[in-house]
Each structure stands twice: as C-alpha cells, then as structure tokens.
C-alpha cells in the first residue's frame, strides 16, 4: 500500500517537474529554435523595427514613413504579447511553487505526527509491558493456544511494521516534495526573470517608438506649415498634404495616449515661439520676399536660371500672424504648446516653418509649383546648391537654407 502511494506521488512529481520545467531551453532546443519559422519571424520583425527607428523621418517619403511606423508598431505588439505571455507563465509558475511548498509542509506535518505516535507507542509498551492476552498465549502448551499465540505475535509485529512503513513512505514523500518545491521555486524565479527581460525589451521599444513619434510630430508641424504656405499657390496640393498629415497625426496621438510603464511620463514636444522678422530685415527679389541675408544669393540664382531659360518665381516669407489665429481656433486657444497632432484639425505651431524666417522658397515655373518630373526641378537640383539652397526631397518645390 505504501509502495503504491509512493509510486503515484513519484509519477505526479515527475509530471509537475516536467510542466514547470518547460521554460528551460537546452542547447539542442536553442539550435532547433534558430531554424523555427516563428523564431525567425520574431528576429526579422526586430531587425525591421531597428531599421525603422533609424529612418530619417524628416526626409523620408510618406510611403517610407508608413512602412517604418508599421514595422515599429508590429514589433511593439509582438513584444507586448510576449510580455503578457511571460507574466501569465510567471503567475502560473508561482502558483505551482506555492502548491508544491504547501504539499511539502503538509507531509512534514504528517511525518511529525507519525514520529510522535511511534514514540508514544514505544513508551507505552515499555511502561505496560506485554498484554495479558499475549502472556497467556506465550505460556500455553496446547496446539490451539500456540496458534493463537502466533497470530497475536504476528499482529503485534505487523502493526509495528505498518507504522514503520508509513513512516518510511512519509520520509520519501517529503524528500520528493521538497525537491519538487525547490525546482518549482527555481522555475518561478526564472519566469520572473524572463518577465523582467521582456518588460525591459518592451520599454526600450516604447522609448524608440516615442522618439520616432517625436520626430514625426516635428515633420507633421513642418508639413502642415508648408501646406499653409501653399494654400494661395495650389489649394488642392495644400489640401492633399493636410489630409496625409492628418493620418500621421492620428498615429502620433495614439502613441501619446498609449499606456506606459510605471514612472514613465508621456512624451512632450518642446514649444517653439513664433519668429518675429522685422520688415527691415526682409528684401523682395523679383517678387519673392526673403530674409535680407539671403537676398543676394536668391537674386544670383534667379538670374542664372533665367539665363538657362527658366523664369522662376514663387513664395518666400510668410508671417506667423495668420498661423497664430488658426492655432487659437483649432487648438483650444493653445498657440505654442500643444503638439499639432492634438489639434482638430491638426495645425502647425507658429515658428515651425522656414518660411516664417524668410529662409525658404516654394518655387513655381510657368505659373505652377515645380515637380520632380519637370526641367525646372532638374535645373535646381543641379544648381541650387551653389547658391546655398537645399531641397526637402518629399517636396520638390520647397528649397531652404538648411533643407528643412
């Protein structure tokens, strides 16, 4: 009976140990995982997210930026799922460890009771001596009495042997349960460590996402400011830019609203005060008003373009006053602090555009904004650098002193 009980417990202990040990990865298992499709997908997602975080947000095309944000979001969702799964496994492992330790305590208590009972029985036997029945049987000489004597002796010896077997079984059970409890606690600790690692990875990815979102917010501000500048030249293009930026604004706002690890504050966007350019520091060159500091270079560029057959025109300086009024209307009266993505509709803060400094020009040719497919753009791409102007790649018409 004791053997069957010990056998059942040993089988149970082996099952529990195998279950709680499922998280341990041997070198052979690690090698198998390296060729596992799921593990490979995880690795590729991580690599894509890393590359996406390195994208030049200000200069990337809308399609490139969408791909980068998708890669970062996908990797973050995977890590969130892994962290949740690890936390669930850690909770289960902790419960298993607690159950195993409780079983150990129960068996230890049972062992204590058995030992106490055996001590009491030994003391009682010593104090009382053999019972009258046993003594009569031992002193008898007839066959029936001898048989009775043997039965009584076997009963007395059997009771003691059963008690000894029960004590031995309890000791063995306690040894197995203690080992199982120790193993369970080790596995629970390993699970907790895995949770910490997953949360650390998740936090790093959230930080990267927020950094990219901050850069996207900056791009959003500049693009919306550019759309406002273009409104008088090409209303349709300005509306298209604003529409695309509204999609980006929704993604940035979602990042700002996402839950964060304890102790981490929501990302903030630094306020940028409006730039006030005095009329005395502005110069109009062939109909384009720019900062006086670049007027000579702009004149030289326009003259060179005309000599090569391109009569360029365009818009340069734009006052911040109009933007301030729009911000008051769209951003709850907040002119300088609230990020563009949090306004309805998204609205750039004053001071985001190089046009407000008189250091950018939206060039037109033949009455229309230049595009990357026409000859005027090709001429500017080949020559504008000589005059200190650079292009923002996603906006072929927009040229400034810093490429922004």
CA 285 – CA 289 distance, rounded (Å):
6
Are 53 and 72 in contact, with CB atoms under 8 Å apart?
yes
Res. 4 pLDDT band, cuts 50 70 90:
very low
The contacts found for 192-201 with CB under 8 angstroms, 24 or more apart, are 192/90, 192/94, 194/23, 194/86, 194/89, 194/90, 195/83, 195/86, 195/87, 195/90, 197/86, 198/79, 198/82, 198/83, 198/86, 198/87, 199/83, 199/261, 201/79, 201/82, 201/83
- pTM of the predicted protein model: 0.54
CA 93 – CA 186 distance, rounded (Å):
9
User: Is residue 270 over pLDDT 80?
Assistant: no
Res. 353 pLDDT band, cuts 50 70 90:
confident
The closest alpha carbon to 241, from 347, 109, 115, belongs to: 347
Q: Give, in words, the CATH class of 275-318+353-404.
A: alpha beta
pLDDT for position 364? 95
Q: Find the mean pLDDT for residues 212-218.
A: 82
Q: Where in the chain is the domain with CATH 3.30.1380.10?
A: 275-318+353-404
317: its two tokens:
């300086």
Peptide bond before 393: cis, by omega within 30 degrees of 0?
no
pLDDT for position 11? 37
DSSP at 266: P
Res. 55 pLDDT band, cuts 50 70 90:
low
Q: Find the mean pLDDT for residues 138-167.
A: 58
The mean pLDDT of the chain is 77
pLDDT for position 49? 66
Are 312 and 299 in contact, with CB atoms under 8 Å apart?
no
CA separation, residue 1 to residues 8, 163, 165, 179, 239 (Å):
11, 12, 9, 23, 86
Contacts of 224 (CB under 8 A, 6+ apart): 241, 242, 245, 340, 346, 347, 348, 352
Side-chain-side CA neighbours of residue 286 (13 Å): 18
Q: How many residues does the chain have?
A: 404
CA 180 – CA 10 distance, rounded (Å):
10
Q: Find the mean pLDDT for residues 376-385.
A: 96
């Amino acid at each position: 009976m004791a053997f069957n009980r010990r056998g059942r417990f040993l089988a149970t202990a082996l099952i529990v140990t195998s279950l709680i040990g499922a998280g341990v990865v041997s070198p052979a298992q690690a090698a198998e995982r390296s060729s596992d499709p799921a593990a490979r997908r995880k690795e590729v997602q991580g690599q894509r997210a890393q590359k996406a975080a390195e994208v030049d947000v200000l200069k990337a095309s809308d399609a490139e930026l969408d791909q980068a944000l998708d890669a970062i979001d996908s990797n973050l969702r995977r890590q969130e799922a892994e962290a949740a799964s690890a936390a669930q496994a850690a909770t289960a492992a902790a419960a298993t460890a607690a159950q195993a330790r409780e079983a150990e305590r129960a068996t230890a208590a049972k062992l204590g009771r058995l030992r106490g009972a055996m001590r009491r029985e030994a003391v009682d036997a010593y104090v009382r001596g053999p019972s009258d029945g046993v003594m009569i049987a031992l002193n008898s000489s007839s066959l029936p009495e001898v048989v009775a004597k043997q039965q009584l002796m076997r009963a007395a010896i059997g009771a003691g042997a059963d008690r000894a077997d029960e004590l031995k079984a309890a000791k063995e059970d306690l040894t197995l349960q203690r080992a199982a409890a120790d193993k369970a606690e080790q596995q629970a600790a390993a699970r907790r460590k895995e949770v910490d690692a997953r949360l650390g990875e998740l936090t790093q990815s959230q930080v990267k996402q927020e950094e990219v979102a901050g850069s996207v917010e900056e791009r959003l501000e500049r693009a919306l400011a550019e759309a406002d500048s273009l409104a008088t030249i090409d209303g349709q293009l300005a509306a298209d830019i604003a529409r695309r930026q509204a999609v980006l604004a929704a993604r940035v706002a979602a990042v700002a609203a996402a839950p964060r690890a304890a102790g981490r504050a929501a990302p903030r966007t630094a306020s940028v005060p409006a730039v006030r350019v005095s009329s005395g520091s502005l110069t109009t060159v062939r109909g384009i008003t720019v900062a006086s500091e670049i007027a000579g270079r702009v004149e030289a560029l326009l003259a060179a373009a005309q000599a090569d057959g391109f009569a360029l025109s365009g818009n340069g300086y734009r006052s911040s006053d109009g933007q301030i009024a729009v911000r008051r209307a769209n951003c709850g009266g907040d002119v300088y602090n609230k990020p563009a993505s949090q306004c309805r509709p998204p609205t750039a803060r004053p001071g985001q555009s190089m046009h407000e400094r008189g250091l950018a020009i939206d060039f037109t040719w033949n009455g229309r904004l230049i595009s990357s497919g026409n000859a005027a753009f090709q001429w500017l791409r080949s020559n504008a650098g000589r005059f200190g102007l650079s292009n923002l790649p996603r906006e072929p018409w927009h040229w400034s002193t810093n490429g922004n």
